[in-house]
A = this chain, B = another copy of it.
Amino acid sequence: MHAVSTFVVDLGERSYPIYIGGGLLGQSEYLTPHLKSESVLIVSNDTVAPIYLERLKACLSSATKLEVVILQDGEQYKNLENLNLIFDQLLTQRFGRDVTLIALGGGVVGDMTGFAAACYQRGVAFIQIPTTLLSQVDSSVGGKTGVNHALGKNMIGAFYQPQCVIADPQVLKTLPERELSAGMAEVIKYGAIGDIEFFNWLEANMPLLMRQDEALLAEAIQRSCQNKARVVAEDEFESGIRAILNFGHTFGHAIETGMGYGAWLHGEAVGAGMCIAAHVSRAFGLLQEQDVSRIVSLCKAAGLPVMPPEDLDSDRMLELMRVDKKNKQGVLRLVLLDKLGKAVIVDQQETETLRQAMITYSAENYL
């Protein structure tokens, strides 16, 4: 038995615990106290379910009504049409308001299950069991749920908090390396925007983290969640400081939208997005050149792309960035770095400096 660490995301009435520990997926004692009743609907996908569904079901022997929805795996299925598959199952099986939805999968499963829970009968309970590094460190904290629209990512959704989150680093052993890298992008982000000690620790430990050292992964997950939880607790509904969590994401979303959902993993787009954002920060006279280098190098050590796709030029990216929901009345809202470990929010009316910086960015200059 490995150690289990618990901490609480502090959101008043909507506070909830995150449990982190190897082997947690097979243990019922952390899960069952958070069920609202004996009615449970598990939502998973066709990649995760064959590996972990039976183990989760074995923990739910107390449920007298237990059904499962298996979604197709991939960001391209994160839309209203597939969300409706969850509603279909809930209604066909006549689940009432006392149902608890359990999300077993990555960020897409978590976001869709959370949004379905927010909307079904105007709100039922849900529990997150994230099975990717990305979802363990990012989408399981903060209550952002939703689906994509053909014209923009995460444009339809709700702020909705789970009953609890259960993060088991052991499940990452079956995760493709590309997805481990993608998750690491968000881990690096927490260091870059607000925790220089964590950034230093990541530089020292990235090789072992990428070789799946379980204890180090558990520590990285916990420090990431705590960093995110601190920001979210300050600003649950994203009216201010929470926007710094979008470091690398404005560029990243443009890459994802421009390439079509699913071509680049979210974390890969964020990795390249952070490198671009670091360079733009320098062009705006904020970040030092050697710190841009440290970010680009750490992303590279995590196996992340550090350049945007070749067939997506800066003007197209800028056009895609303008539809981002963080913008107000035509002003482009950027999250930049004042220094390593300190993010700032910059509202940019005039985009020519930005455009030039994007055109001149080359990772080679920093490596």
What residues of chain A have their CB less than 8 Å away from a CB belonging to chain B? 37-39, 80, 83-84, 87-88, 90-92, 94, 96-98, 118-123, 144, 146, 149, 151-152, 155-159, 237-238, 322-323, 325, 327-329
Contacting residues, chain B, for A152 (C-beta < 8 A): 91
Contacting residues, chain B, for A146 (C-beta < 8 A): 119, 122
Task: From known contacts A92-B151, A149-B87, infer whether A329 and B37 are also in contact, taking CB-CB under 8 Å.
Answer: yes
Evaluate contact between B121 and A325: CB separation under 8 angstroms: yes
Evaluate contact between A122 and B157: CB separation under 8 angstroms: yes
Task: From known contacts A80-B80, A123-B237, A146-B122, infer whether A328 and B158 are also in contact, taking CB-CB under 8 Å.
Answer: no
Task: From known contacts A80-B84, A87-B149, infer whether A158 and B155 are also in contact, taking CB-CB under 8 Å.
Answer: no
Evaluate contact between A87 and B158: CB separation under 8 angstroms: no
A84 to chain B, nearest CB (A): 6
A158 to chain B, nearest CB (A): 6
Evaluate contact between A97 and B158: CB separation under 8 angstroms: no
Evaluate contact between A94 and B322: CB separation under 8 angstroms: yes
* Identity of the chain B residue whose Cβ is nearest the Cβ of A37 in the assembled complex: B329
Assembly of this chain: how many copies? 2
Evaluate contact between B156 and A120: CB separation under 8 angstroms: yes
In the complex, besides A98-B329, A123-B158, 12 extra interface pairs with C-beta distance below 8 angstroms are A38-B329, A80-B80, A80-B84, A87-B155, A92-B151, A96-B329, A97-B325, A119-B119, A119-B157, A119-B158, A120-B156, A158-B158
11 contacts between A and B (CB under 8 A): A80-B83, A80-B84, A91-B149, A91-B152, A96-B325, A98-B328, A120-B155, A121-B155, A122-B157, A122-B158, A122-B238
How far does the alpha carbon of A92 sit from the alpha carbon of B39 in the complex, in Å?
Answer: 40
Q: Which residue of B118, B149, B238 contacts A158 across the interface (Cβ within 8 Å)?
A: B118
How far does the alpha carbon of A354 sit from the alpha carbon of B329 in the complex, in Å?
Answer: 57
A143 to chain B, nearest CB (A): 9
Contacting residues, chain B, for A149 (C-beta < 8 A): 84, 87-88, 91
A41 to chain B, nearest CB (A): 14
* Identity of the chain B residue whose Cβ is nearest the Cβ of A330 in the assembled complex: B96
Task: From known contacts A120-B156, A144-B122, infer whether A328 and B151 are also in contact, taking CB-CB under 8 Å.
Answer: no
Q: Which residue of B118, B156, B322 contacts A87 across the interface (Cβ within 8 Å)?
A: B156
Task: From known contacts A119-B158, A122-B157, A237-B123, infer whether A151 and B91 are also in contact, taking CB-CB under 8 Å.
Answer: yes
Evaluate contact between B329 and A151: CB separation under 8 angstroms: no
How far does the alpha carbon of A268 sit from the alpha carbon of B237 in the complex, in Å?
Answer: 40
Contacting residues, chain B, for A158 (C-beta < 8 A): 118-119, 122-123, 158
How far does the alpha carbon of A149 sit from the alpha carbon of B322 in the complex, in Å?
Answer: 34
Evaluate contact between B88 and A151: CB separation under 8 angstroms: yes
How far does the alpha carbon of A88 sit from the alpha carbon of B79 in the complex, in Å?
Answer: 13
How far does the alpha carbon of A249 sit from the alpha carbon of B157 in the complex, in Å?
Answer: 29
A93 to chain B, nearest CB (A): 10
A261 to chain B, nearest CB (A): 15
Evaluate contact between A97 and B323: CB separation under 8 angstroms: no
A210 to chain B, nearest CB (A): 33
* Identity of the chain B residue whose Cβ is nearest the Cβ of A144 in the assembled complex: B122
A135 to chain B, nearest CB (A): 18
* Identity of the chain B residue whose Cβ is nearest the Cβ of A64 in the assembled complex: B329
Q: Which residue of B39, B121, B159 contacts A122 across the interface (Cβ within 8 Å)?
A: B159
A312 to chain B, nearest CB (A): 20
A249 to chain B, nearest CB (A): 14
